Amino acid sequence: MTIYLEQDKDKIIVKFNYSSKLVQLIRTIPGRKYEPDRKYWTVPLSARNNLLELFKNEKIIIDFPFSVTKTFQKTSEKIDTLFIDNKKAMESDLITNIITELKLKGYQNTTRKSYLGHIYRYLTYISQLIPYELVEKDPLIIKSNSKGLINELTHENLKTYIITLLDDDCSHSYVNQAISAINFFYKETINQDKKLQLDIKRPKKENKLPKVLSTQEIVKLFQAVDNLKYKTIFMLTYSGGLRVGEVVKLKLSDIDKDRKLICIRTGKGLKDRYTLLSATALNTLEKYMKIQHTSQWLFPGQSKNSHLTVRSVQKEFSKTRKKAGITKEVSIHSLRHSFATHLLEAGTDIRYIQELLGHKSTKTTQVYTHVTKKELTKINSPLDNLFD
């Protein structure tokens, strides 16, 4: 079992695939907390040494700087622990080249972060196969001129790594993205002469249905929001089927009050699109605008020069969902799923829904036909027929 550790302000984020044994261990740490929406645990930063001691028999991958955690580092010297110092890794030629290529190819910021994460983890795995240069016992430094690195980036090692992910019960979508990220790394960064030929078979995509809220649950959710800013965000998200990364980046100029439309600029896939602005959402937005004087972002963050973070919205949604008494384990993205499903149930043509959501293909939008109740409600269960 592999355990990933990341740092978030005064907490350590602990990620691992479900194991009753590991859950029992982490529950012994005072102040630990499980985040069901994000599917990870958090523990106080002060519990770092206790954390490593508890998991000393497991493989641990630590993905955050250790400049302020020398004690933590010394404690881990006798444990099967691999470090990636983000700052030093980012300064290396190799990582810089990856970031440059991702930007040149027009990948969005969220995709760039995901790809870098996958590449970090893959290089960490490779580092177990070869002796890396460690400078003054500092965390791992990835160097582009390492012959050992280039020699070990083989087709067979990649296959073994993918099998390791599957053995760790990683989702197929996660594994497929890992393959895409590593393919990009091979072809665009270290394989300019195209000598390395990768032909990795991808696991079949899981046919998971989107989690949808009923119209009654949507109403309960909106009624449970106390903060006008977040109520406006949730309403706009459901009104137009927005992604959370799109709603936080909205500007006043993106709102077309006369035509009742929202303009999403350079959304996923770098495509602009228009979607719906309901009269109800517009009314709430106008109330919000009377108290929020913004010059650029509709929902500014701590600084007026930056927009509200995605994480802030996710946290508020989780809190509101619980307050509304909604027991479904859903995230704010469920508002987008619910928007599409409810339109489909109301008889809207799927091609219009595809355009509103910004899907490249109707195949992506077709998934909502499997969760709509429109046709299912016309079917009687055979149990009911027994007592007619």
Question: Which residues belong to the active site?
Answer: 243, 268, 333, 336, 359, 368
Question: In 3D, which of 76, 85, 174, 75 has the Cα closest to residue 123?
Answer: 85
**CB-based contact 144:93 (threshold 8 Å):** yes
CA distance 59 to 4: 9
Identity (one letter) of the amino acid at 196?
Answer: L
| Side chain identity, residue 309 | T
Of 60, 62, 68, 50, which is closest to residue 10 (Cα–Cα)? Answer: 68
Task: Find all residues with CB under 8 Å of 333, minimum gap 6, and list them.
Answer: 243, 244
CA distance 32 to 145: 42
Phi, psi of 129 (to 5 degrees): -95, -20
Cβ 280 vs Cβ 239: under 8 Å: yes
How far, CA to CA in Å, does 303 sit from each of 78, 308, 309, 313?
43, 9, 11, 16
Task: Give percent helix, percent strand, percent coil of the chain, each to the nearest 5.
Answer: 50, 10, 40
